[in-house]
Amino acid sequence: MVEHLWAGWRIPYTGATGGPALERPPGQTLFEGILASDLPDDETFIVRRGERCFAILNAFPYCSGHLMVLPNRGVLGLTDLDADEYRELWDMVRDTVVAVETAYTPDGVNVGANLGKGAGAGVPDHLHVHVLPRWIGDTNFTTAIADVRVLPETLAASWLRICEAWPVA
């Protein structure tokens, strides 16, 4: 028997129905569209906006508190960033790690980027660095047997928790 896991909130994000945050000019990446939308940050789950980069919750998280840090403009790789973007990206990654550690007190933090489709990038046209909390034993039989992840809090609750934990400059 096939089990169904309904997640109707995901379709606008993928662009299949052209949700409000995704109505964007041709040539604009998914993340550029989200960044440029007129929607408030608590709806787009943008946690922090910098001059050249921003941090956003992953709408398809591996665990609660899974964020991505991105340059404002869609570039493919690290070598496509100018020096100021590069510095701000890694400064924001550091601040994101601090916020995740403060908000969740995990046993560790994963930081990584999948550069290109061959490396596993789900959105390969816009460089993004993943930052996510991890705990010893945070995987269990549901992931291994049923290929399902259980997330204990909503994206809205994660967004608020991370915003409140963001380091003060």
Q: Summarize pLDDT for 86-96 with one digit per residue, the tens.
A: 999 999 999 99
Catalytic residues: 128
- pTM exceeding 0.85: no
- Among 144, 50, 141, residue whose Cα is nearest residue 95: 50
Measured CA to CA in angstroms, residue 68 lies from 6, 18, 34, 63, 154 at distances of 24, 22, 13, 13, 17
Dihedral, 11, 9, 164, 32 alpha carbons, nearest 10:
20
Fold of 37-165: HIT family, subunit A (3.30.428)
pLDDT digit string, tens, across residues 10-38 = 555 555 444 444 555 678 899 999 999 88
pLDDT of 6 higher than 70: no
Q: What is the DSSP letter of 72?
A: S
3-state secondary structure of 51: coil
Query: Who wins on pLDDT, 61 or 148?
Result: 61
Predicted confidence band at 146 (pLDDT cuts at 50, 70, 90)? low
User: 10-49 burial, b for 16+ CB within 10 Å, e for fewer?
Assistant: eeebeeeeebebbebeeebbbbbbbbebeeeeeebbbbbe
Residue with tokens 């945050």: 21
Mean pLDDT, residues 144-166: 81
Phi, psi for residue 102 in degrees, rounded to 5 = -70, -45
- Among 77, 61, 74, residue whose Cα is nearest residue 130: 61
Residue type, 96: T
Domain positions in the chain are 37-165
